Amino acid sequence: MTSQIATAKKVTAVTVREAKGQVPLVAITAYDYTMARLVDEQVDIVLVGDSLGMVVQGNPHTLSVTVDEMIYHCRAVARAVRHSHLVVDMPFMSYQVSVEEALRNAGKILAEGGAEAVKLEGGVAMAPTVERLVAAGIPVMGHLGLMPQSVHTMGGYRVQGKTDKAKESLLEDAVALEDAGAYAIVLEGIPAELAKNISERLKIPTIGIGAGADCDGQILVGQDLLGLNVDFKPRFVKHFAHLGEDVRRAVAQYAEEVKNRNFPTKEHSF
Ligand code: KIV
């Protein structure tokens, strides 16, 4: 089975934007060639997320990921991606210091990593940066709500947009990103009702993670939906497979067969 946009032709920032009001967008993270090859035909968007700082590098947050690390992973993913739209996260402090620095880093990520768009966190405050990147020919996906790069400001990974004031400011942020030229916005960790309101208000698609069913698309970390992070099962994650258990079982069997000299057999020998 393939995603509806992906079957038609190569998914781009333009086709993602035009998908609003049509089929729900399907997005997933990938950080390496093998995973990207497996998911490319099934989804519309592959995100090389800075979540790789946690998922791949084992850090408690995403803050230490560098531009060069994002480029390294993006190159591997880009070698596999044929159909889906390839987006890369701009890591912490690669775009917040100045618009010029954001432009230089985003350009580097596209030119050296092979990304087709960048994603960055923040709303009204980031609008001038988004505008400049878009004017330079770099498609920008926004990211609002629970913004992992602001983990210390948020006091942890907490659901955002719960008060009336926070709801209002999230809506303002979303409109500011759209006005600045963002072609889509990830909404993470916000109440479903708020995500619905934002999605209805915008002309560009919203892609939710922990933001309910009424966004224009959904994204999950690949390792999470595959059940590879066995101990990580927050409310917004569904395990569509239990590969973590499969890996443990397979490696235990491999170890046993090596110890018992049941592997390799003649069949695996020259
Ligand atoms: O870094 C990431 O993987 C993300 C997604 C979870 C949206 O930003």
The CA 52 to ligand 1 mean position distance, Å, reads 9
Answer whether 206's CB lies under 8 Å from 184's CB: yes
For the question of residue 188 being annotated catalytic, the response is yes
Average pLDDT estimate for 63-89:
98
d(CA 79, CA 30): 12
CB within 8 Å of 72: residues ≥ 6 apart? none
The CA 29 to ligand 1 mean position distance, Å, reads 7
List 41, 168, 188, 193, catalytic entry: 188
pLDDT of residue 230: 87
- Residue 1 clears pLDDT 60, i.e. is over it: no
pLDDT of residue 231: 86
Tell me the pLDDT tens digit for each residue of 20-65.
Answer: 999 999 999 999 999 999 999 999 999 999 999 999 999 999 999 9
The CA 89 to ligand 1 mean position distance, Å, reads 8
Q: pTM of whole model > 0.85?
A: yes
pLDDT of residue 100: 98
Residues with CB under 6 A from ligand 1: 29, 47, 49-51, 89, 143, 186, 188, 209, 219, 221
Residues pairing with 77 in the sheet: none
Tell me the domain boundaries of the chain. 13-239, 243-270
Before 139, cis peptide (omega within 30)? no
- The count of other CB atoms within 10 Å of the CB of residue 69 is 17
SS3 of residue 217 by DSSP: strand
Which ligand 1 atom is at minimum distance from the Cα of 29? Answer: 3
Residue with CA nearest ligand 1 atom 5: 49
Q: Report the first-to-last Cα separation within the chain, whole angstroms.
A: 38
Which ligand 1 atom is at minimum distance from the Cα of 55? Answer: 3
Residue with CA nearest ligand 1 atom 3: 49
Percent of the chain topping pLDDT 70: 97
d(CA 45, CA 28): 7
Which ligand 1 atom is at minimum distance from the Cα of 89? Answer: 1
Percent of the chain topping pLDDT 90: 94
- Give the pLDDT band of residue 3 (cuts 50, 70, 90): low
pLDDT of residue 90: 98
The CA 50 to ligand 1 mean position distance, Å, reads 6
Is the CATH number 3.20.20.60 carried by domain 13-239? yes
Tell me the pLDDT tens digit for each residue of 188-246.
Answer: 999 999 999 999 999 999 999 999 999 999 999 999 999 998 888 999 999 999 999 99
- E-state strands within 182-252: 184-188, 206-209, 217-220
- Residue 83 clears pLDDT 90, i.e. is over it: yes
Pocket test for ligand 1, best of 50, 63, 149 (most atoms within 8 A of CB): 50
